[in-house]
């Protein structure tokens, strides 16, 4: 799904529930944090092999649902803040690549 489709679906549910006024940057940021915590609940105290097994079980649906919640809140937060995520991602990837080259080149750009 495109970010715009995600936000439209998110907004549809918010309108049905009367939550539009709650979707401020602060509230969305907090909600995003809560969703990340809910995802991490599935990983806490587990080894990588246990997480791999989890993702092969029926409980993988719960992890997938948390990831979907995170993406929805992130897309809506970006929209509220006026952030173009495609551009932000491209810029961040370029910055990460530049920094990685510096490390490989011993600090030289």
Going by pLDDT thresholds of 50, 70 and 90, the confidence category of residue 108 is low
pTM (global) more than 0.85: yes
Q: What per-residue confidence (pLDDT) applies to 2?
A: 93
Tell the burial category of 77 from Cβ atoms under 10 Å away from its Cβ (0-12, 13-18, 19+). buried
CATH fold, domain 3-83, is Helix Hairpins (1.10.287)
Q: Are 85 and 3 in contact (CB under 8 A)?
A: yes
Distance CA 42, CA 66 (A): 10
Domain boundary assignment for the chain: 3-83
Residue 80: which of 34, 9, 5, 20 has the closest Cα?
Answer: 20
Residue 77: which of 109, 45, 15, 35 has the closest Cα?
Answer: 35
Residue with tokens 């809506």: 76
Secondary structure of residue 7 in the 3-state scheme:
helix
pLDDT tens profile 44-71: 999 999 999 999 999 999 999 999 999 9
Residue 105 in this model has a pLDDT that exceeds 90: no
Distance CA 97, CA 75 (A): 24
Residue 63, token pair as written in the block: 């992890």
Distance CA 11, CA 92 (A): 27
């Amino acid at each position: 799904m495109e970010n715009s489709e995600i936000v439209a679906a998110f907004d549809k549910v918010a309108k049905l529930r009367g939550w539009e006024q709650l979707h401020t940057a602060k509230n969305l940021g907090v909600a995003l944090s809560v969703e990340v915590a809910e995802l991490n609940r599935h990983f806490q105290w587990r080894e990588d092999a246990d997480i791999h097994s989890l993702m092969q079980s029926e409980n993988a649906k719960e992890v997938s649902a948390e990831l979907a919640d995170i993406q929805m809140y992130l897309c809506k937060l970006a929209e509220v803040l006026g952030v173009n995520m495609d551009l932000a991602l491209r810029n961040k990837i370029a910055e990460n690549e530049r920094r990685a080259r510096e490390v490989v080149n011993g600090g030289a750009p």
